[in-house]
Amino acid sequence: MAGDDRHVLRGRDNECDVLDRLLKDVHASESRVLVVRGEAGVGKSAVLDYVVEGASDCRVLRASGVEYEIELAYSGLHQLCGPTLDLRERLPQPQREALETAFGLSTKPPSDRFIVDLAILGLLSEAAEDGPLVCVVDDAQWLDKASSLTLAFIARRLLAESIGLVFGVRQHTGANELDGLPDLMLGGLGDSDARALLNSAWPGRLDEEVLTRVVAEARGNPLALLELPRAMTAAELGGGFGLYDRSPTPKPTPTQEGAGLFETPVSEPTASVPTQKPTPAIARTITGSPAIAILPTVGKGAQRTIST
């Protein structure tokens, strides 16, 4: 098991303690199952990476659900168990043949799913004979139905095989097969941890008002904390201008000096200038664009602009 110099997840001390105990139990020849749940971007993958890092002296099998493979039966199990297929010769013949058929290694008729479930359980048990085994499955909500059912079957039958089985599941999705298993709910980071994460990941100093607003808007979601500033301009990062005010620019209104003159955003066409001598209007924006001075030519309504 990895030492105390392991990377610790910011703001996840309690969660790390749970994961450390799981790995300790697996090293003590016990089997453990954990379903890590949370919304998108909350850090489930980082938690699973922490498990893998802590299992550096174990055999680790990994898989990740893929939405585009959700209709391919046993594709998730094939991804997870592929490195252990050389152990299938140790299985009873019916289980070995069922496994080979499920994974496309045989053209025999498909076997009963229960036999396939037993075959996968037996295969993982054989893989754990030489030392602790940790299986990590990310984005389990995208697993194909057959793989999801089989892994749920295995999770409820592990006893003393020295196997750890850890899932990452997006909250409020249809991964119902894993309901009832021990779980760990990931919430958002606290304000102090969110600020520390944002400051450590973003070069330079953020304006305090911007920092406060980003933390409030992200609601502790680590991915949102890192992505929100990337969508902002340098002016917004420096002072917060336009950070949340995305309302349309008001329609131009006549000025008091010259009924035909308008204070107009530079992106909109300027109204015709009357023949009487006007007062020049200065277009202003709050988006960092240069202001434009509109200089009318008396008598013909022609205009020329000078960037300032």
**CB under 8 Å to 281, separation ≥6 — which residues?**
255, 261, 262, 263, 264, 294
Yes or no: say if 143 and 65 are a contact pair by the CB < 8 Å rule: yes
* Run means of pLDDT, 10 residues per run, the chain, 308 residues: 62 91 94 94 92 93 94 95 95 95 89 94 94 96 95 92 94 79 90 80 70 80 78 60 48 44 42 44 39 41 44
Do 283 and 303 share a domain, yes or no? yes
Element (H, E) at 38: strand 32-38
Do 181 and 196 share a domain, yes or no? no
Structural domain boundaries enclosing 144:
13-185
Do 26 and 157 share a domain, yes or no? yes
The torsion angles phi and psi of 199, rounded to 5 degrees, stand at: -65, -35
Q: Residue 70: inside a domain, yes or no?
A: yes
Q: Report pLDDT for 289.
A: 41
Do 17 and 151 share a domain, yes or no? yes
Q: Residue 4: inside a domain, yes or no?
A: no
Q: Report pLDDT for 92.
A: 95
Q: Which of 173, 235, 165, 223 is nearest to 194 (CA)?
A: 223
Q: What is the DSSP letter of 89?
A: G
The torsion angles phi and psi of 63, rounded to 5 degrees, stand at: -150, 160
Distance CA 20, CA 214 (A): 32
pTM exceeds cut of 0.85: no
Tokens of 204: 């330079």
Q: Report pLDDT for 82.
A: 94
How many separate domains does the chain show? Answer: 3
Residue 93, domain CATH: 3.40.50.300
